[in-house]
Structure 1
Amino acid sequence: MLPALFTRMIAVLFGREGRSLHLRAAGGATIVLVVVMLCGSWAVVAVEEGAHRANLTSYPRALWWSIETATTVGYGDFYPVTVWGRVVAAIVMVVGITTYGMVTAALATWFVGREQRRGGTWHHLREETAALHERFDRIERMLTGKRDGD
């Protein structure tokens, strides 16, 4: 069931020719994140088993910990106590932070591209900004007593 779901997700993500690179990268990173969280949950339970003061002793707890860690929430209710458990945690953290950064960048790129295709306000804002800079320059020259040609 689960492998078929991942296969379908990958086919949907990469199957369209027209899909933009940033969207495919963000989608691919999200799939990698899900796999890392699922495998990381299993791995942390395996390496923490039998460790003194271990609190990641079941897969449901480890899955919750993995979600907390990947999203950088980190309540502190569950945490690895072994060196290998902390290595798994570092991997989950790095993949989580990278994925959320890529998804945020993809969304920002999509919004900007959409606005540009609509002929949105970006060109207008650039012109307004240039006009404001000219006004500030004139005011600055007036305050310092310099003339336009100086």
Structure 2
Amino acid sequence: MLPGFLARAVDLLLGREGRSLHLKAAGGATAVLGVVMLLGSWAVVAAEDGAKGANLTSYPKALWWSVETATTVGYGDFYPVTPWGRVVGAVVMVVGITTYGMVTAALATWFVGREQKRRHRLAHDTAKALHERFDRLEELVSGKREPR
């Protein structure tokens, strides 16, 4: 059940032919972030297992920690105490920061693209109206047309 769900989710994020490259990249980064958070949660529990002062002792706690870490919230309620746990934390941080940066850039590009299309349409319509006016003026000046 879960692998089919994941395959559909990845297909939804990456599989649209009409999507622009920046949206595909943001979707791919989001999928990678999900995998990194799931695997990072497991890895940090394994790295912290039996360590003195460890507070990431269960998968649900570690999953909450990975969400906090990826989003750079870092409440400080859970944190790794072992070197390997901190390496996992660094990976989750870097992937999270990168992903949110890519998603933000994709959204900004989408908004800017919409505005550019709107301005292009406006400029095209204005140019078309001006050409029609100049054509009418030329016909009036050449005497081919009577004034309205």
Q: TM-score range by the shorter chain?
A: 0.7 to 0.9
> Bigger radius of gyration, 1 or 2?
2
1:112-145 alpha-carbon deviations (Å, 9 max, x no partner): 001111127xx8xxxxxxxxxxxxxxxxxxxxxx
Name the counterpart of 1:101: 101
Q: Once superposed, what is the RMSD of the aligned Cα atoms?
A: 1.8
Amino acid at match of 1:87: V
**Alignment match, 1:70:** 70
SS in 2 for 1:119: helix
What is the TM-score when the length of structure 2 is the normalising length? 0.79
Take 2:32 and 2:111, find their aligned partners in 1: how far apart are those partners?
A: 24
Task: Structure 2: state its 5+ residue gaps.
Answer: 124-148
Give the whole-Å Cα distance in 1 for the aligned partners of 2:29 and 2:57.
28
- For the pair 1:79 / 2:75, whether they are aligned, the reply is no
Q: Secondary structure at the match of 2:19?
A: coil
Aligned residue number for residue 7 of structure 1: 7
Give the TM-score, by structure 1 length.
0.78
Q: Which amino acid aligns with 1:40?
A: G
Shift of 1:82: 0.3
Shift >4 Å, 4+ stretches: none
* In structure 1, C-alpha distance between the alignment counterparts of 2:38 and 2:47, rounded to whole Å: 15
Quick one: which amino acid aligns to residue 112 of structure 1?
Answer: V
% identity of equivalent residues: 79
Aligned to 1:115: 115
Shift of 1:13: 2.4
1:50 counterpart residue number: 50
Structure 2 match to 1:41? 41
Helix, strand or coil at the partner of 2:64: helix
